[in-house]
Amino acid sequence: MQSKAVEGFMKGPINPNNFVLQLPANYAQTLHKPTASIVIPAGQTLQNFTTKANGSGALATFSLPPGVSYPVQIPAGVTLQTSSGHLYKVNVPVMVTQAPASNRILPQPIQHVMEPREQVAPQGAVASVAPSAVLQTIPPPAADTYTPAAPSTTLLHPSEPQPVPHQQHLFLGQGGALQPPGALQPQLTLPAVPQPPPLPTPAPVTPDSPGDDEFTLDGIEFSPQPLDMSQPSPFAAQLSSGQACGGQLGAGREEVGQDGGGSLPVNAGEAKAQLVEPAKLEMDLMRDFNYNDLEALQQLDGACDSTSEEEAEEEEVEGGAGADEDEFLGMINAEALKALQEAEGSSEDDGSSSDSDALDDAVEEVEEDPLNSGDDVSEQDVPDLFDTDNVVVCQYDKIHRSKNRWKFYLKDGVMCFGGKDYVFSKAVGEAEW
């Protein structure tokens, strides 16, 4: 049961012809810097799109050349349209790749990414491609909270050249490491990317955020996109794992990230931007950015439980092992969507178990009575060990229990007892627990 959103996607190599680039009207103006640095493998056609965009005042449409093989870099502000008709709006420079099935990435808070939907007029179901980074400049004092709301225009159009004293620099979150929203704090001190001066975008209402989104993929470098930084990106901190180095941008860059800065070329394996299915994005838009999409996606059994926010924050702060790695801001692998959902339940438990081990002594509970690890709550005195060689392998007719009296009606089995094997067609047993 595959979502319709991904019906165009095949397991095999995706035909690049499926994608049609639609560029906004003023995209050309913003392109002068990135254009120079855009490197699209085997995409000589695309390199001309700047001129094309310049020529047309309206939306420019390009088709990816047939020879284009993945990964493909797509600068910000373009809209991708698949052959199936789905539209994906790229707000930040992304790298469209064909992700392996095992790579599960989730769209993280995308609500703000969806804002500039209106920018692209004709699209009905536009899902913004939520790449790793939404470039934003955030003034340090004010950047405590992430406000998903942002003027839509800001995302589309690069923010005007603000005299950004601080250089903030968002890391693209890609493929592998996904930082939980709690790790957004470091975003405040991200080094910014200098905005290209002639950007006619309206001043962002919300606090600036560095619009520099730069990531290096296999040596391919993306010059900083003058994306709008008006809204703090919840992705920002999360992107630290896939980090784009701002090295080429200039000096004075404080790189923030979980890994602590330094321009790190994104690992090829990690840097994958996936197209997000529109339905999923829309759903996520409504959520609080602190909302844990991973947990919201699937619960294998039982009703949706309200995982405490303290838990989520703990995980975020810890940068916890299992579950966090599987969370990815923005991109979900279209092909692996199903696999993601199935594996999610197990990953939750793995994450919870690893978290519990890690946090065992540290943060037990915030509630009334913390379960001290064995303090007053002693373990069961008699640990049951099933280190026995006496086993019965059989089928059962009925297993009955009354209080602590058990009765077993078994059939067709073999009992290994005292080193000897006994075969039976019927066996009756009684036991007291």
Q: How far is the CB of 431 from another protein (least distance, A)?
A: 13
Does position 430 interact with another protein (CB under 8 A)? The reply is no
Helix, strand and coil in the chain, % to nearest 5? 25, 15, 60
Q: How far is the CB of 202 from another protein (least distance, A)?
A: 45
Q: What is the DSSP string of 251-310?
A: SSBPP-STT--S--PBPTTT--B-PPPHHHHHHHHTS-TTS-HHHHH--SSSSPP---HH
The 183-212 site mask, x for binding another protein (CB under 8 A), equals: ------------------------------
Comparison of 378 and 388: residue with beta carbon closer to another protein: 378
Q: How far is the CB of 377 from another protein (least distance, A)?
A: 4
Kindly state the number of chain residues that form the binding site for another protein, as judged by CB under 8 A.
41
Interface with another protein (CB under 8 A), residue from 308, 407, 409, 429? 308
Task: Look at residues 117, 120, 115, 118 and name the one whose alpha carbon lies nearest to residue 136.
Answer: 115
The 323-352 site mask, x for binding another protein (CB under 8 A), equals: ----------------------x--xx--x
Comparison of 4 and 401: residue with beta carbon closer to another protein: 401
Q: What is the DSSP letter of 181?
A: G
Whole-number Cα distances in Å, 281 to 50, 102, 400: 29, 21, 50
Task: Look at residues 320, 305, 355, 51 and name the one whose alpha carbon lies nearest to residue 183.
Answer: 320
Comparison of 121 and 391: residue with beta carbon closer to another protein: 391
Comparison of 41 and 345: residue with beta carbon closer to another protein: 345
Cβ-Cβ contacts under 8 Å for 388 (sequence gap 6 or more): none
Comparison of 145 and 372: residue with beta carbon closer to another protein: 372
Comparison of 373 and 425: residue with beta carbon closer to another protein: 373
The 349-388 site mask, x for binding another protein (CB under 8 A), equals: x--xx-xxx-x----xxxxxxxx-xx-xxxxxxx-x----
Comparison of 10 and 300: residue with beta carbon closer to another protein: 300
Comparison of 369 and 389: residue with beta carbon closer to another protein: 369
Does position 432 interact with another protein (CB under 8 A)? The reply is no
Q: Which stretch binds another protein (CB under 8 A): 49-57, 300-308, 325-333, 334-342?
A: 300-308
Burial of 39 (0-12, 13-18, 19+ CB in 10 A): middle
Q: How far is the CB of 214 from another protein (least distance, A)?
A: 37
Q: How far is the CB of 404 from another protein (least distance, A)?
A: 8
The 250-289 site mask, x for binding another protein (CB under 8 A), equals: ----------------------------------------
Burial of 61 (0-12, 13-18, 19+ CB in 10 A): middle
Maximum Cα interatomic distance, the chain, rounded to a whole number of Å = 89
Q: What is the DSSP string of 352-389?
A: HHHHHHHTTTT---SSSS---TTSSSPPPSS------S
Residue 319's SS3 state is coil
Task: Look at residues 203, 28, 22, 48 and name the one whose alpha carbon lies nearest to residue 129.
Answer: 22
Whole-number Cα distances in Å, 240 to 28, 281, 283: 29, 22, 25
Question: 150 is written with which tokens?
Answer: 């942002």
How many CA within 13 A on the CB side of residue 339?
A: 14
Q: How far is the CB of 309 from another protein (least distance, A)?
A: 11
Q: How far is the CB of 279 from another protein (least distance, A)?
A: 24
Interface with another protein (CB under 8 A), residue from 85, 197, 302, 419? 302
Number of neighbouring beta carbons within 10 Å of residue 29: 18
Does position 301 interact with another protein (CB under 8 A)? The reply is yes
How many CA within 13 A on the CB side of residue 415?
A: 11
Torsion sign, CA atoms 366, 367, 372, 375: positive
Interface with another protein (CB under 8 A), residue from 1, 251, 286, 303? 303
- Residue ranges that bind another protein, judged by CB under 8 A: 295, 299-303, 305-308, 311, 345, 348-349, 352-353, 355-357, 359, 364-371, 373-374, 376-382, 384, 401, 404, 433
